[in-house]
Amino acid sequence: MSKPTLGNPQNTIEILQKYNFTFQKKFGQNFLIDTHVLDKIIRAAEITKEDMVLEIGPGIGTMTQYLAEAAGKVVAVEIDKNLIPILSDTLSAYENVTIINEDVLKLDIQKLANEENQGRPIKVVANLPYYITTPIIMGLFENHVPVESITVMVQKEVADRMQTGPGNKDYGALSLAVQYYAEPYIVANVPPNCFMPRPKVGSAVIRLTCHEQPPVEVKDERLMFDIIRASFNQRRKTLVNGLNNSDKLSFSKEEITEAIESLGKGSSVRGEALTLEEFAELSNYLWKYSHND
Ligand code: SAM
């Protein structure tokens, strides 16, 4: 195995010029040019030679080189066909890397994990394209892909939303969804000058360690998430009105009020005050009304 050659501005510029590469804004291309940040991501992901890593958006292969050093196997999915010849070049020294030229949102990752890792849990590591952060992460969770952990660079504001709890302005449907499936931990904040070109927003590395079992018992996950979304759709409204106004839910105002009171909360409470445990209790209580025949 050889040492990573990328991860600094000079070598990145050299490769980009060699292939006359032009950045595509629509693909959220901001390449990492800081070896300290790369080391931090690899350490936080706790990769061993036993692991298969899925990398989303390898770019020119900077982080892929680091991942290939640490992991048993790396599968990297890149949408931009102009990057494929570059990746063949920068990763030529690594035999444990497979590149797939595909839109990650269209890929059957469950099937990939089965084929490449015999269904054992994989680790996902990426400097994500920010425009599709939520669909990528929720896709992994909701499709029940066997994943042990997800260590990713995201927009700082999104990392804050994933990690925060009730009473915070960033708390919302994303916080609850992430915390239902995983334990979030912000590893580091990363400034724009660690990327080329520089993004307009701050970034953060977050590690999501997936739960083996969800931390709360829920009779109907879909119902709980419909309730959560309805509660935050109209942040300024009370929880009673938020749930009553939703076209996805068909509970009466009396049923909703009774369910909220069963939590020991008053009728003026807002969704943003409820914990994941309380949303689970609320949805289990309301579930009775959709199954009372
Ligand atoms: N990993 C590289 C690095 O850290 O330098 C590049 C990260 S860059 C923020 C995001 C990468 O994701 C780009 O290479 C982009 O082309 C790729 N990408 C964007 N949308 C994608 C999609 N739907 N499926 C797969 N890759 C995608």
Instruction: Please state the domain extents for the chain.
Output: 9-210, 221-290
- pLDDT tens digits, one per residue of 123-153: 999 999 999 999 999 999 988 899 999 999 9
- Report which of 95, 203, 207, 109 is spatially closest to residue 149, judged by C-alpha positions: 207
Determine the distance separating the centroid of ligand 1 and the alpha carbon of 163, expressed in angstroms: 23
What percentage of the chain reaches a pLDDT higher than 70? 98
For residues 160, 163, 165 and 169, what is the CA-based torsion angle, rounded to 10 degrees?
10
Separation of alpha carbons 259 and 277, rounded Å: 14
- 166: preceding bond cis by omega (within 30 degrees): no
Determine the distance separating the centroid of ligand 1 and the alpha carbon of 78, expressed in angstroms: 6
Whether residue 293 is predicted with pLDDT greater than 60 in this model: the reply is: no
234 token code pair? 């109209």
Which of 127, 137, 194, 196 to mutate for ligand 1's pocket (most ligand atoms within 8 Å of CB)? Answer: 127
- pLDDT tens digits, one per residue of 13-49: 999 999 999 999 999 999 999 999 999 999 999 999 9
Q: ∠ CA 106-25-186 to the nearest 5 degrees?
A: 75
| DSSP letter string, 49-102 | TT-EEEEE--TTTHHHHHHHHHSSEEEEEE--GGGHHHHHHHTTT-TTEEEEES
pLDDT value, residue 235: 75
Answer yes or no: pTM beyond 0.75.
yes
Helices (H), the chain: 9-18, 35-45, 62-70, 84-90, 109-117, 133-142, 156-163, 173-181, 221-233, 239-245, 253-262, 276-290
Q: What do you get for the CA distance between the two ends of the chain, in Å?
A: 65
pLDDT value, residue 28: 95
Strand 182-190 vs strand 203-210: parallel, antiparallel, or unpaired? Answer: antiparallel
Q: ∠ CA 151-153-154 to the nearest 5 degrees?
A: 120
- pLDDT tens digits, one per residue of 252-271: 999 999 999 999 998 899 99
pLDDT value, residue 143: 87
Whether residue 117 is predicted with pLDDT greater than 80 in this model: the reply is: yes
- pLDDT tens digits, one per residue of 159-182: 999 999 998 989 999 999 999 999
pLDDT value, residue 1: 52
pLDDT tier for residue 8 given thresholds of 50, 70 and 90: confident
Whether residue 237 is predicted with pLDDT greater than 90 in this model: the reply is: no
Mean pLDDT of the chain: 94
Domain 9-210 in CATH 3.40.50.150:
yes
Question: Span 185-203, mean pLDDT?
Answer: 97
Question: Span 208-221, mean pLDDT?
Answer: 95
CA 230 vs CA 99, 163, 174, 226: distances in Å: 40, 20, 13, 6
Whether residue 3 is predicted with pLDDT greater than 60 in this model: the reply is: yes
Whether residue 112 is predicted with pLDDT greater than 70 in this model: the reply is: yes
pLDDT tier for residue 233 given thresholds of 50, 70 and 90: confident
CB atoms within 10 A of CB 76: 25
Which of 34, 56, 62 to mutate for ligand 1's pocket (most ligand atoms within 8 Å of CB)? Answer: 56
Cα 193 → chain centroid: 23
Determine the distance separating the centroid of ligand 1 and the alpha carbon of 51, expressed in angstroms: 22
**Ligand 1 pocket at CB < 6 A:** 27-32, 56-59, 62-63, 77-80, 83, 103-105, 127, 129, 132
Kindly report the protein residue whose alpha carbon is nearest to atom 1 of ligand 1: 58
pLDDT value, residue 135: 94
Domain 221-290 in CATH 3.40.190.10:
no
86 phi, psi to nearest 5 deg:
-65, -45
- Note whether 151 and 207 are within 8 A (CB): yes
Compute the residue count for the chain.
Answer: 293
Non-local (6+) Cβ contacts of 88 within 8 A are 99
Q: Which is the closest atom of ligand 1 to the Cα of 130?
A: 9
The string over 149-181, giving b where at least 16 C-beta atoms fall within 10 Å of a residue's C-beta and e elsewhere, is bbbbbbbbebbbbbbbeeeeeebbbbbbbbbbb
pLDDT value, residue 236: 79
Question: Span 96-108, mean pLDDT?
Answer: 97
- Report which of 173, 185, 179 is spatially closest to residue 229, judged by C-alpha positions: 173
Whether residue 203 is predicted with pLDDT greater than 90 in this model: the reply is: yes
